[in-house]
């Protein structure tokens, strides 16, 4: 099975549980379980190759020019993590089926779970760091949904927000670090990056990249000082806690450190940052866990502690430490997931997770007692369980690690962490199951149905089996995974067995176990000291920090984002000019290679007219109608200059757009005040004048410098001129660019144009539903209105011009591939012909005679363009690749047929529909469908509007 399909399968499977929940809870669970099982089978199908030392790959070049490829690869490390994600995920799906109540939307839960599962599988299989980043952020989003699944609980909502905030901020840091890493290597493929250790560590950007990447890994894996979010995420349902926070999500940061270990480890920076952070997290999490009374909180901080242990091992930077880290990842996933599920069972049956309300459950819940005891003893590191094996290997490695020239410092602190780890494990057994049976349980305790016991039972069986037969059960996967972590080099000697003789690790382990029993014996005294001791609360600090940031951002936003367009423009222009000034001062200046052309008389006249009209707009801008007339004059001069300098396509487009724009603005002004109020002070106007003059001179100077410069590379226009006819079949280069070379850009533009028109329609719909339209219709004109609403001369002229304009539009459309014209210009011309009918005869008259909805015209245009582009796929060519041929019919000249014409037809329809829909939207303020009248100022009699004479309609 392809790796790509394995990664996408959970996302596809997430569709079915919400649909099948109507068929019952079992159907939803079976669909989720079947999807996970199928992905697991696909993974196991590729496992033999990986176990032989091969690397399975799947590649899809998406955007290779920027290094964005959908590449996947499966090695030993990926096999280990993907197996944990899918294997434990299958057990969680079974457990959740019996854990969730009938009031919980199970279809929604399984959909979220599969989305998260797919994101995690995507992380561990990605061979491209950009693709990995996408999946990384998906884990944050999907875990947010899972943690906040019980929306009615404030703690769940707050835990979800906290997890998303912390891991999301860390993800932003990691994005920067991975991009730097890819820039150092010159590739974003992990398979390439992992071979460039010397290049990366010799780069001056190594330390910034390392710190940024580690921030992302530490936040995801709840390392100090980011550890506080994980316990608050325990408000999620227990299946979520067991899956996300013991076996998968919190392991994502561990995976990233292990994946990049071959190129980032081995330096002092790596050792002191990673090992020290892991050591602090290990001890701090263990100490806090001992004094937690909530079962899931205790397990959450124990998870923090064990994640710190694995981080510390990876930070040591030695091969045997990497092997130990891989082994403990497996062991921790088994006993911790089993413990979380068992905690859920206790909560499910007793209706409480408060340890101080429990005790004496050994005889009432004997099966649960056996499961929790075995898993807890493994977590404490007692033989012959699997946790003992990896703990002994960890202690042995710590005993030979020197921190800052102090040989006994790190081993002593590690023993302290192991001691507290044993203490909270012993407390979990003693304070929940031992002691006398109580008579004040919230509910009568008893072992749950078998459905809740199967999943933790399988995991506890693995805890025992791995402890007794580790070499046979997990030895091969540990070897192949560790070899991937250390970069494929030879593995050091190690032995996965219980007895290694009388070693320093054995003595350290004995001290930790005996010390843990002593802490349990003196727990009451220590608990009173702990409660009386002042200590910082991470949640309080986090809330206050967020509150301070929110207040600061509000103040900053109130200063800058005050709704004044002039302030936004001033800030933008000042910032841009500052950057430009810095570039000018710090950069080099080439000698002009081109001579300035002589100024021609007509060109100078046109330039002067545009400058004068622009100044007039600034001077007379308070008179909106006069400003609009001057703007129209400016647009006309631009069109003439385009034509004068041999750009007829641009001239036609400019003048057509100018006509349509002016008409729409005139219609808008009909419902607006005719003058603009004075809103700026004299000082602000002086500031704006200075900024605009400096910015204008800067842009003018830049344009002048570019025109005098000569570029070594040939201009892109040369390529288009040479290939327009041979590649696109047209001699009009501009049109060939629009419908062939850059057809995808044009396709996007017509979609945006259509969306803009639909948004205008939606906005006017909301306004028509309010009393705004009545106020507009009942306004008192500031000047007398014309008695001749529709002058006969204009009516006759427009109706005579209508067929001529349509013929011109068709002509411009058909000639566009070889001569100035095309679908865009033709759409504007035909739209102008229709607009003139609306202007001359009134909107109601014209609208009553057109038989097609403009929404459909826009949709047809986009659809025609899309279908034309997809036609290229049937010939094995990229989207929007055009085909053309020359046809000769007897009696006629030879002419060209090109698929680009159909694409241009889509452009024509989209442009025409967008303009007419916008016109219709504006005009609806003064017209309602179904009223036949020559007067455009109709009022719908079905609405209670007020007539101008003050009487009710």
Task: Flag residues of the chain having pLDDT under 50.
Answer: 928-953
According to the model, what pLDDT value does residue 776 have?
66
CA distances, 457 to each of 94, 239, 367 (Å): 12, 15, 9
Q: How many CA atoms lie within 13 A of 467 on its CB side?
A: 24
CA distances, 42 to each of 48, 49, 92 (Å): 12, 13, 19
Tokens standing for residue 761:
């329609």
According to the model, what pLDDT value does residue 79 have?
92
Distance, CA of 865 to CA of 905 (rounded, Å): 7
Q: 663 near 839, Cβ under 8 Å?
A: yes
According to the model, what pLDDT value does residue 221 have?
87
Non-local (6+) Cβ contacts of 635 within 8 A are 654, 655, 657, 658, 661, 662
Q: State the Rg of the chain over Cα.
A: 36
For the full predicted model, state whether its pTM sits above 0.85.
no
Please, is 383 exposed, middle or buried when counting C-beta atoms within 10 Å of its C-beta (0-12, 13-18, 19+)?
middle
According to the model, what pLDDT value does residue 741 have?
80
Scan for tokens 């480890």, then name that residue: 265
Non-local (6+) Cβ contacts of 546 within 8 A are 165
CA distances, 886 to each of 813, 889, 894, 899 (Å): 18, 10, 7, 12
Which of 340, 336, 341 is CA-nearest to residue 380? 336
Non-local (6+) Cβ contacts of 536 within 8 A are none
**CA 582 to chain CA centroid, nearest Å:** 33
**CA 461 to chain CA centroid, nearest Å:** 40
Alpha helices in 842-898 (DSSP H): 843-847, 854-870
According to the model, what pLDDT value does residue 639 have?
86
According to the model, what pLDDT value does residue 951 have?
40
State yes or no: cis peptide before 225, omega within 30 of 0. yes
According to the model, what pLDDT value does residue 279 have?
93
Span 63-96, pLDDT tens digits: 666 667 788 999 999 999 999 999 999 999 999 9
DSSP letters for 461-529: HHHHHHHHSHHHHTHHHHHHHHHHHTTS-PPPP----S---S-HHHHHHHHHHHHHHHHHHTHHHHHHH
Q: 100 near 109, Cβ under 8 Å?
A: yes
CA distances, 454 to each of 364, 368, 415, 692, 707 (Å): 19, 11, 35, 74, 77
Which of 400, 393, 391 is CA-nearest to residue 421? 391
Scan for tokens 């921790």, then name that residue: 332
Scan for tokens 């993590």, then name that residue: 81
DSSP character at residue 875 = G
According to the model, what pLDDT value does residue 893 have?
67
Distance, CA of 319 to CA of 233 (rounded, Å): 34
Which of 451, 702, 505, 757 is CA-nearest to residue 589? 702
Distance, CA of 711 to CA of 909 (rounded, Å): 40
Ramachandran quadrant class, 257 (left: phi over 0; alpha: psi -120 to 50; beta: rest): alpha
Domain locations in the chain?
1-264, 268-521, 719-953
């Amino acid at each position: 099975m392809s790796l790509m399909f394995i990664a996408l399968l959970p996302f596809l499977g997430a569709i079915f549980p919400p649909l099948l929940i109507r068929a019952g809870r079992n159907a939803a669970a079976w669909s989720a379980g079947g999807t996970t099982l199928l992905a697991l089978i696909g993974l196991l199908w590729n496992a033999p190759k990986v176990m032989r030392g091969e690397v399975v790959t799947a590649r899809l070049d998406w955007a290779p020019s920027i290094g964005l490829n959908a590449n996947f690869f499966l090695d030993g490390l990926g096999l280990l993590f993907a197996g944990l994600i899918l294997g434990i995920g299958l057990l969680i799906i079974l457990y959740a089926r019996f854990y969730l109540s009938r009031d919980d939307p199970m279809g929604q839960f399984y959909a979220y779970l599969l989305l998260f599962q797919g994101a995690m599988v995507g992380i561990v299989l990605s061979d491209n760091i950009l693709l990995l980043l996408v999946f990384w952020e998906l884990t944050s989003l999907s875990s947010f949904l899972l943690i906040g699944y019980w929306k009615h609980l404030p703690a769940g909502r707050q835990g979800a927000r906290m997890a998303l905030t912390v891991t999301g901020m860390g993800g932003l840091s990691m994005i920067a670090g991975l991009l730097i890493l890819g820039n150092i290597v010159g590739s974003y493929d992990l398979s390439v990056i992992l071979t460039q250790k010397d290049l990366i560590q010799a780069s001056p950007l190594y330390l910034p990249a390392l710190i940024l990447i580690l921030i992302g890994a530490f936040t995801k894996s709840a390392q100090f000082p980011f550890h506080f979010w994980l316990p608050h995420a325990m408000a999620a349902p227990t299946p979520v806690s067991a899956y996300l926070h013991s076996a998968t999500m919190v392991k994502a940061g561990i995976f990233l450190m292990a994946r990049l270990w071959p190129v980032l480890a081995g330096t002092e920076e790596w050792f002191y940052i990673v090992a020290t952070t892991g050591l602090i997290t290990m001890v701090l999490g263990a100490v806090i866990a001992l004094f937690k009374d909530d079962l899931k909180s205790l397990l959450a901080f124990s998870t923090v502690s064990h994640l710190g242990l694995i981080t510390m091992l990876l930070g040591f930077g030695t091969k045997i430490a990497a092997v130990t880290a891989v082994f403990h990842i497996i062991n921790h996933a088994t006993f911790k997931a089993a413990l979380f599920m068992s905690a859920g069972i206790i909560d499910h049956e007793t209706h409480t997770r408060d340890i101080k309300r429990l005790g004496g459950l050994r005889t009432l819940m004997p099966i649960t007692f056996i499961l929790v005891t075995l898993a807890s003893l493994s977590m404490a590191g007692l033989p012959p369980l699997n946790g003992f094996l990896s703990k002994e290997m960890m202690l042995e490695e710590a005993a030979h690690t020197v921190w800052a020239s102090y040989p006994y410092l790190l081993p002593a602190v590690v023993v302290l962490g192991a001691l507290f780890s044993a203490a909270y494990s012993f407390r979990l057994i003693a304070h929940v199951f031992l002691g006398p049976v109580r008579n004040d349980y919230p509910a009568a305790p008893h072992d749950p149905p078998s459905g809740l016991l199967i999943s933790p039972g399988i995991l506890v069986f693995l805890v025992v089996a791995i402890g007794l037969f580790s070499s046979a059960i997990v030895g091969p996967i540990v070897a192949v995974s560790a070899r991937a972590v250390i970069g494929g080099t030879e593995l050091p000697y190690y032995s996965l067995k219980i007895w290694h003789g009388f070693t320093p690790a054995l003595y350290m382990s004995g001290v930790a176990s005996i010390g843990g029993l002593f802490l349990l014996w003196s727990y009451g005294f220590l608990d009173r000291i702990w409660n009386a001791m002042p200590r910082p609360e991470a949640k309080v600090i986090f809330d206050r920090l967020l509150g301070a940031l929110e207040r600061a951002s509000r103040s900053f936003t109130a200063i800058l984002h005050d709704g004044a367009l002039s302030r936004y423009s001033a800030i933008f222009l000042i910032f841009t000019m500052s950057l430009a000034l810095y570039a000018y001062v710090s950069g080099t200046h080439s000698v002009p290679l081109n001579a300035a052309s002589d100024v021609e008389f007509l060109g100078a006249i046109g330039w002067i007219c545009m400058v004068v009209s622009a100044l007039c707009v600034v001077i007379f801008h308070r008179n909106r109608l006069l400003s609009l007339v001057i703007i129209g004059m400016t647009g006309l001069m631009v069109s003439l200059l385009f034509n004068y300098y041999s750009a007829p396509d641009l001239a036609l487009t400019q003048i057509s757009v100018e006509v349509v724009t002016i008409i729409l603005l005139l219609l808008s002004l009909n419902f607006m005040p005719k003058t603009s109020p004075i809103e700026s002070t004299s000082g602000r106007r002086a500031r704006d004048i200075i900024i605009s003059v400096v910015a204008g001179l800067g842009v003018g100077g830049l344009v002048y410098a570019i025109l005098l410069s000569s570029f070594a590379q040939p201009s892109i226009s040369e390529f288009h001129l040479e290939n327009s006819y041979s590649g696109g079949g047209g001699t009009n280069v501009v049109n060939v660019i629009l419908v062939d070379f850059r057809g995808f850009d044009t396709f996007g533009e017509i979609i945006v144009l259509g969306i803009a028109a639909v948004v205008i329609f939606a906005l006017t719909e909301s306004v028509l539903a309010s009393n705004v339209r009545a106020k507009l219709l009942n306004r008192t004109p500031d000047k007398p209105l014309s008695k001749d609403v529709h002058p006969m001369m204009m009516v006759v002229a427009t109706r005579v011009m209508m067929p001529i304009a349509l013929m011109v539009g068709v002509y411009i459309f058909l000639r566009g591939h070889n001569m100035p014209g095309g679908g865009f210009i033709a759409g504007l011309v035909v739209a102008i012909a229709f607009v003139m009918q609306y202007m001359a005869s009134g909107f109601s008259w014209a609208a009553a005679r057109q038989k097609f909805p403009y929404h459909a015209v826009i949709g047809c245009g986009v659809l025609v363009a899309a279908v034309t582009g997809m036609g290229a796929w049937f010939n094995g060519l990229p989207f929007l690749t055009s085909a053309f041929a020359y046809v000769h019919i007897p009696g006629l000249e030879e002419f060209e047929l090109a698929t680009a014409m159909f694409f241009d037809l889509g452009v024509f329809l989209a442009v025409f529909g967008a303009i007419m829909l916008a016109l219709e939207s504006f005009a609806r303020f003064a017209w309602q469908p179904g009223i036949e009248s020559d007067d455009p100022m109709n009022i719908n009699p079905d609405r209670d509007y007020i007539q101008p004479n003050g009487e009710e309609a």
